[in-house]
A and B are shown apart, each in its own frame.
Chain A
Amino acid sequence: MKKVIRNGLLLIVTLTASITLAGCGQQRTSQSTRVTVTFWHGMTGHNKTVLQGLVQDFNRSQSTYRVVANGQGTFSNLQQKIMTAAKSKTLPTIAQTSYTNVPNYVKGGLIAPFNTDLSAKELAGIQPAFLKAGQYQGKQYALPFSKSVRIMYYNQRLLKQLNLKVPTTWKAVQHVGQVAQQHGLTGLALDRAYLGELNDLAHAAGQPLVTTNLKVNAAAPQTVDAVQPLAHMLKTGTAKTAGADNYGNVRFLKGRTVLYCGSSAALGLIQASAPKNFQWGTTQTPSYQGQRANCVAGNDLVRFKTGTKAQRQGGAAFIKYLLQNRQTIRWATQTGYLPVTTAAATTASYQRYLKKHPKFKAAASELKTSYTDPAFLGYSQYLTALQTTADDLAVKHVAAATTLNKLQQTTETIIKTNQN
């Protein structure tokens, strides 16, 4: 009896194993004809769904490549994952990252440029500011993907209540802050890391905090003067940073703050979380002395050296696909990110979209005045130093000249140390 049971069990196990292995074999055969391209990204929620849709459509259009997209959680999780995968040599074919990481990745011999895969004509179609950002040592190492700029959100009801117009200059923003404070309201909400606003002010004053030649202008008198209005607002409490909330939209959506300077990437989130009776609009960031400058934020795509040549070519093919008008517009209109090619930005369909969704106009109109920070070794250290300056102004209320002087010295040291 025992023997019969044992033989029966053996038969079942053998049959199951054969069926499973046969299934695996078939699966392998059908997939082996296509080259697998792995893609790590930091998209979550709705944006992840849109991206997944793009990946699926690419895969359907392909007989050569198959992209496998893996969301790695937040952007900081993604960066940590790339760092550890680089060490263990398990990097994907392509990944979403900021172009500011390019110098570090090049130094580590991790990434391959796109120049051989994308023609000069294809590259020329990309928005100039975005394209320039991804260039390092004469090569195109990063291509734009999820790009955003800083815009200003305003509470229409409060502006009407205070009998104020939508401010277009920093002087007008200061006035809004004063009037709002008199009525027990907050004039301006900022993110905890309002580095974009500081950078934009310095740029508008003609003194980028760090130039493309790596000259530091943080302590230049024009920079100090440009930062003064914001520093004054923070000191007097007419402007408030988000602190532990991280993003100023939390304060703004409570309905007692007139203005909010934040990322255009937050548009979708604000639209989704704003109460029904909350009337709000968007406009370009304020100008300083008639000049407006808009720092481009967001993420790009890089291609790692890992994998086979065919995989790397597949990675480039997928990015080319994303850069096509149809995909660029689909990505921009469904996520709120900026269209990364000039052709897509000027298409009738994108213009129709802007007409239908006027809140997205502010970001699109800032493309004309947009700029990017230079990428250099030690950029992440510089960002930490800039955050210290932002904290000095917002939390400790240190004089602008003092903290900008400190930033000047720290940044110069960072650049010098990393060049050695």
Chain B
Amino acid sequence: MLNSRPTVRSTLKALLYIAPLLVISLAFTFWPLLEAFAMGFYRHYNFYLNQIGSLSLANFQFLWHDAAFQLALRNTLIFIIGVVPVSIGLALLLALSLHHARHFAKLLQTIYFLPLVTSSVAIAIVWRWLFSAEHGGLNGWLAIINRTPVDWLNDPRYSLLALIIVCIWHSLGLNIILLLASLQQIDRRYYLAAQLDGANSWQQFTNVTWPLLTPMILLVSINAVIVNLKVFDQVYALFNGSAGPANADLTLMYYLYQKFYVEDQPTIAAACGIVLFGITVGLTLGTLWVLRRHHYPQRGWSPS
């Protein structure tokens, strides 16, 4: 049955099966996506009456010259560079530890997974307390090592770092679970063979674990890039509805929100969305290319 050749009848039948979800996807995902894409090119647009003055690239020209957009772009890129490698590195380290843990492995997995299922607002409240300049937990630690307290949320030099810390912590759970699942899939016989060849732990990691883990690292990296490019709720909740001190935490998604909902500039927001989409595609392809080029074995291996 599965190997039978598709016919017009079978294709129509399949289409019928997927029709409900296809209709929903077309109506609520693709159509709004196309509308938003088109809106990025509207000029003199009356949002409420849906009257379009003309089509042009003026919104993109505005973005190009807008200092706030440039700041948002810069902040987003710094944020991605700060969050993605560290969160994946830490997740890998913790996944390896959990993989080799003999006791409480399940309990620890649950603890690490908790941030992912906790609401962003609740997380932000806890972190705001931890970052508090006067009585915050982090400054308490700094005091122990004789360092001056930092006003994490109100000092523009530290506020982006504060956001990066929160997002690393928040993203750890999912990354750990995915990497752990992948680690558990690796056949033990590879390690036994490596041990027979006299490989030490590091050599086993670099020659067995890392290559076999690469597909999952690729997936986790791409997912992390996409998720963190869209960072919004953590910024909104951590800084109480603002983009940090003097816009120090203004990200592209926050800029988009600001333009659409606060400044009544839907076409600029739509243009920003298109740019964000382009960056997402670009960074995803870039990540894919880098990891494939440097970490996939050239031949003789398949991630099955």
CB nearest neighbor in B for A86: B48
What 1/0 mask marks residues of chain B from 30 to 58 whose CB sits below 8 Å from any chain A CB?
A: 00000000000000101111000000000
Across the interface, do A109 and B245 meet the contact criterion of CB distance under 8 Å?
no
Q: How many whole Å from A391's CB to the nearest CB in chain B?
A: 4
A384 to B72, CA, bound (A): 15
Binding site secondary structure of chain A = helix
The answer to whether A384 and B156 touch (CB under 8 A), given A109-B49, A244-B239, A246-B240, is no
A244 to B263, CA, bound (A): 21
Across the interface, do A244 and B246 meet the contact criterion of CB distance under 8 Å?
no
CB nearest neighbor in B for A395: B246
A235 to B147, CA, bound (A): 24
Contacts of A243 in B (CB 8 A): 151, 153-154, 245
Across the interface, do A108 and B47 meet the contact criterion of CB distance under 8 Å?
yes
Contacts of B262 in A (CB 8 A): 76, 380, 384
Across the interface, do A108 and B49 meet the contact criterion of CB distance under 8 Å?
yes
A-B pairs with beta carbons under 8 A, tally: 60
Contacts of B264 in A (CB 8 A): 104, 380-381
A83 to B263, CA, bound (A): 12
CB nearest neighbor in A for B266: A83
Contacts of B154 in A (CB 8 A): 243-244, 395
Across the interface, do B261 and A420 meet the contact criterion of CB distance under 8 Å?
no
Contacts of B242 in A (CB 8 A): 192, 244, 246
A104 to B261, CA, bound (A): 13
CB nearest neighbor in A for B128: A244
Q: Interface range on chain B: under 10, 10 to 19, 20 to 34, or 35 or more? A: 20 to 34
Contact of B258 with A by CB under 8 A? yes
Contact of A356 with B by CB under 8 A? no
Across the interface, do B48 and A396 meet the contact criterion of CB distance under 8 Å?
no
Contact of A79 with B by CB under 8 A? yes
Across the interface, do A244 and B261 meet the contact criterion of CB distance under 8 Å?
no
Contacts of A245 in B (CB 8 A): 240
A105 to B48, CA, bound (A): 8
Contact of B247 with A by CB under 8 A? yes
Task: Identify which of residues 225-241 in chain A touch chain B, using a CB-to-CB cut-off of 8 Å.
Answer: none
Contact of A110 with B by CB under 8 A? yes
Q: How many whole Å from A205's CB to the nearest CB in chain B?
A: 25
Q: Which residues of A contact B (CB under 8 A)?
A: 76, 79-80, 83, 86-87, 104-105, 107-110, 192, 243-246, 380-381, 384, 388, 391-392, 395-396, 420
Top 3 A-B pairs ranked by shortest CB distance?
Answer: A108-B48, A243-B154, A244-B153
11 sample A-B contacts, Cβ–Cβ < 8 Å, listed by A number: A86-B48, A105-B48, A108-B46, A243-B151, A244-B154, A244-B242, A380-B262, A384-B263, A391-B245, A395-B156, A420-B44
